[in-house]
Structure 1
């Protein structure tokens, strides 16, 4: 009797893991890119892309659609504002115009001010290089000093940079866990991280956030997972 129960439990665990993997595969197929990649950022552990990710995190922190924030980030980068120095050297109006070009009109003026102040802070404190911030005793607290970056912004930034700052991986924040629950996946970061290769962690985290924020997207992923 005990042996039978043990075998049933083992099979159940195996089935559960297979179901989780099917859900994750479906999620990654529906989320082919991270938010960073959609904004044209090729994340590496070098100053420019790290800063660009911080800009994107600032834009995504506002109560605005993710695709609008991504479009606004692209517009800023296309305008040449790809580093703290170029962002600080731009005029307030130039930043406003670029944000408007990307459709980020509701928060454009306040965000232009925050981007300028944030760039100045990074230049003064870290010579514009976020790798120096990484060396701080508490990088999360240091990120919170940047204008426009609150706890949500920290989560957004670290979700994507965990691919190049592996000490933060697996980074699964509260919003990503909400998405995991919606798909019936485990919510513990270690268990979720174990379902993918390390290089896929940023895309998994962004996909889970997308799931939490978009019910039709979640329904599509669930349907695809059931079809596997």
Structure 2
């Protein structure tokens, strides 16, 4: 298969972003950016991505689509929402972290992650700034940057090691620039998400390589 054939199969079968899976319509606006930050925190735990996505959906369904609403929710409310998404192994700790996440965003950036972006110069700065939020480590920062590059164009092409490993398993180039050349700019977050899935699950690679 050519690189183009692999990319087409990957996008067709495994090319939804994690934000899309969680019901987030990503724009450069405070609420969807906050929702992506929440999703990045949930995906950072040692738990299946499907459970993390389901938990995010439950939190947003409960109305916690802004840091203000998350701060107003009780700790038990957050635990209950996480439980409905079957995010039970880490529910109590994560409920605390979500409250702290909201507090930090409101106090540091007035609830608006665009301010973090404005104060940063490139993806390394954004990664470092994100890791100042308790519960967001290198993995969580990478998740956020992979997804947000569609609306924060100065971060693109952003391909972390996990995505590059997935690209290699698929027979695609590891280079961010070379991967970006294979798709329209709007599809780069989808391609990177597909590569991450390939890195985590050999069945994705087999499915794509079957044509």
Q: Same fold (TM over 0.5)?
A: yes
Q: TM-score, normalised by structure 2?
A: 0.96
Q: Say which of 106, 123, 131 aligns to 2:89.
A: 106
1:68-83 alignment, distance < 5 Å: 68-83=51-66
1:199 aligns to what SS in structure 2?
helix
- How many angstroms does 1:204 deviate by? 0.5
**Alignment-derived partner of residue 210 in structure 1:** 197
CA distance in 1, matches of 2:28, 2:108: 18
List alignment gaps of at least 5 residues for structure 1: 1-17
Q: Say which of 38, 51, 58 aligns to 2:41.
A: 58
1:82-105 deviation line (CA, Å, top 9, x unaligned): 111101111111000000000100
List alignment gaps of at least 5 residues for structure 2: none
- How many angstroms does 1:122 deviate by? 0.4
Q: Runs in 1 of length 4+ with deviation above 6 angstroms?
A: none
Higher mean C-alpha displacement, 160-169 vs 135-144: 135-144
Number of aligned positions between the proteins: 207
Q: Is the 8 A contact 1:136 1:142 kept in 2?
A: no
CA distance in 1, matches of 2:16, 2:167: 18
Q: TM-score, normalised by structure 1?
A: 0.89
Q: Say which of 131, 151, 155 aligns to 1:164.
A: 151
CA distance in 2, matches of 1:80, 1:86: 7
**Alignment-derived partner of residue 208 in structure 2:** 221
- How many angstroms does 1:33 deviate by? 1.7
Q: Is the 8 A contact 2:15 2:193 kept in 1?
A: no
